[in-house]
Amino acid sequence: GLKRDLAVRRIRSTIVDVPTRRRHKLSSLSVTAQSYVIVEVLLENGAEGVGEAATLGGPRWSEESVEAIKANIDAHLAPALIGQPADRFEAAAARMDAAARRNNAAKAAIETALLDAVGKTLGLPVAALLGGAARESFPVLWTLASGDPGQEIEEAEAKLAARLHRTFKVKIGAQAPEADLARLGRIARALGDRAALIVDANQAWDETTAIRCLPALAGLGVRLVEQPLPAWNVAGLGRLRARGAVPLLADESVFTAHDMLEVARQAAADAVSLKLVKHGGLLNLKRVAGVAEAAGIGLYGGCLLESSIGAAAHLNAFATLRELGWGCEHFGPQILADDLVTEPLRFEDFHVRLPSGPGLGVTLDRDRLRRYARDKEEPCST
């Protein structure tokens, strides 16, 4: 019967390192390659599914590294699911939670692969399994993060000319605030009203610095300031927001639905950045979005520089949200020197398209998986 057919036969995890087109510099880390764990699930019915766990700069953006993700999938998470029905997504998530605390990126990659395999079995997109798509394309921004304003202006001009992106997120916090303000001033003057700017400080500032700099950012026309304070300082974000200089976006402060509830209680953000690596799966991403919606907090489609696999997973969840007022930032496939799928996501007219077709709507390219695999021989967990 269907139940037996949908049982999980095998889960395989592979660490890959994919070079980026240029150095990507955040407040406290910088990368020239993106490291992912690609999870492949095989069902008894022969259907295959794929998922991706993204990291940024090892265990520095969040606590998970690809080495830890792979180890915990192979030793703890995969064994909890072998033989279990792949279509019982909530039950699978509960089994994973019982097997390992947190490990959100690892759990998200596995859940994505289950949804992909079941969607492929039923001939339905993952979005249909999550409530059904309410949109098929998403406004998508580009991130300027080389740290060199001349290069950043040139890069933004090329994106504008190609009609790929017209909102830019500038990564700040790697240098002194005044140097960042000067850099932003140059970028803002060069782009004028042809582009919208937001910034992400990745927790770099303390409250005093933020109180000093937020009005200046607003003066430069910055529309949204992402995570100016350390993740723990939700009360500080609430005080900053009460000053009303510029809208605030919570990123590292919100991993779980409980974190989201606390941000809502403290009125600490205007919007929240939704990401699989933080929330631990597509169902949990929708749960966090629900808490934000209940508090009147806006939704922003966040990323961690995923390939087209991880980006497709996010878009399938984002597609089911009624409002995604701040658009999304799934430019990841465009900053990679190569992708991991046979047909990359489509970017056009300042939007990225929800891929069509069953499951995630993308197909893993096994040649590329092998090319970028860190170890050429990967063991299976059966």
What is the phi/psi pair of residue 282, to 5°? -75, -35
Each residue 177-216 as x (binds ligand MUC by CB under 6 A) or -, in order, gives -----------------------x-x--------------
272 φ/ψ sector (left φ>0, alpha ψ -120 to 50, else beta): beta
Contact set for ligand MUC, span 29-48 (CB under 6 A): none
Residue 54 is encoded by which pair of tokens?
């993204």
306 lines the binding site for Mg ion (CB under 5 A): no
Contact set for ligand MUC, span 276-295 (CB under 6 A): none
Give the residue, chosen from 53, 246, 303, 369, that forms a contact with ligand MUC under the rule CB under 6 A: 303
Give the residue, chosen from 87, 116, 200, 306, that forms a contact with Mg ion under the rule CB under 5 A: 200
251 lines the binding site for ligand MUC (CB under 6 A): yes
Give me the catalytic one of 171, 275, 278, 286.
171
In the complex, what is the shortest distance from the CB of residue 14 to Mg ion, in angstroms, rounded to a whole number? 26
In the complex, what is the shortest distance from the CB of residue 293 to ligand MUC, in angstroms, rounded to a whole number? 21
Task: Please compute, for residue 115, the number of CA atoms within 13 A of its CA located in the half-sphere on the CB side.
Answer: 31
Q: Answer for the pair 381, 10: CB distance below 8 angstroms, yes or no.
A: yes
Known active-site residue 376: no
- Total of residues contacting ligand MUC (CB under 6 A): 12
Return the number of the residue (56 or 319) whose C-beta is nearest ligand MUC: 56
145 lines the binding site for ligand MUC (CB under 6 A): yes
Known active-site residue 63: no
In the complex, what is the shortest distance from the CB of residue 360 to ligand MUC, in angstroms, rounded to a whole number? 20
Return the number of the residue (42 or 303) whose C-beta is nearest ligand MUC: 303
Q: Answer for the pair 35, 70: CB distance below 8 angstroms, yes or no.
A: no
Contact set for ligand MUC, span 84-123 (CB under 6 A): none
Beta-carbon contacts of residue 68 (< 8 Å; ≥ 6 apart):
59, 103
Closest residue to ligand MUC, judged by C-beta, is 143
- CA distance from start to end of the chain: 22
Beta-carbon contacts of residue 262 (< 8 Å; ≥ 6 apart):
234, 268
In the complex, what is the shortest distance from the CB of residue 352 to ligand MUC, in angstroms, rounded to a whole number? 14
Return the number of the residue (114 or 199) whose C-beta is nearest Mg ion: 199
Stretch that binds ligand MUC, among 15-23, 90-98, 302-310, 319-327 (CB under 6 A): 302-310
* Encoded amino acid at 140, one letter: V
329 lines the binding site for Mg ion (CB under 5 A): no
143 lines the binding site for ligand MUC (CB under 6 A): yes
Residue 28 is encoded by which pair of tokens?
């406290």
249 lines the binding site for ligand MUC (CB under 6 A): no
Return the number of the residue (24 or 120) whose C-beta is nearest Mg ion: 24
Angle at 57 between CA 55 and CA 62, to 5 degrees: 55
Closest by CA position to 244, among listed 272, 217, 220: 217
Give the residue, chosen from 111, 152, 180, 251, that forms a contact with Mg ion under the rule CB under 5 A: 251
Q: Answer for the pair 360, 312: CB distance below 8 angstroms, yes or no.
A: yes
Task: Please compute, for residue 256, the number of CA atoms within 13 A of its CA located in the half-sphere on the CB side.
Answer: 8
Question: In the β-sheet with 48-54, what is the strand arrangement from edge to edge?
Answer: 8-25, 30-43, 48-54
Closest residue to Mg ion, judged by C-beta, is 251
Tell me the CA distances in angstroms from 222 to 113, 192, 200, 217, 285, one per residue in order: 38, 11, 11, 6, 27
Considering CB distances under 5 to 8 angstroms, the limit depending on partner class, which of Mg ion, ligand MUC, none binds residue 329? Answer: ligand MUC
Give the residue, chosen from 74, 329, 339, 365, that forms a contact with ligand MUC under the rule CB under 6 A: 329
Q: Answer for the pair 167, 198: CB distance below 8 angstroms, yes or no.
A: yes
Residue with tokens 């005080």: 239
In the complex, what is the shortest distance from the CB of residue 284 to ligand MUC, in angstroms, rounded to a whole number? 18
Considering CB distances under 5 to 8 angstroms, the limit depending on partner class, which of Mg ion, ligand MUC, none binds residue 304? Answer: ligand MUC
User: DSSP characters for 159-226?
Assistant: HHHTTS-SEEEEE--SS-HHHHHHHHHHHHHHHGGGSEEEEE-TT---HHHHHHHHHHHHHTT---EE
Give the catalytic positions in this structure: 171, 329
Residues near ligand MUC (CB under 6 A) are 56, 143, 145, 171, 200, 202, 251, 302-305, 329
Residues near Mg ion (CB under 5 A) are 200, 226, 251
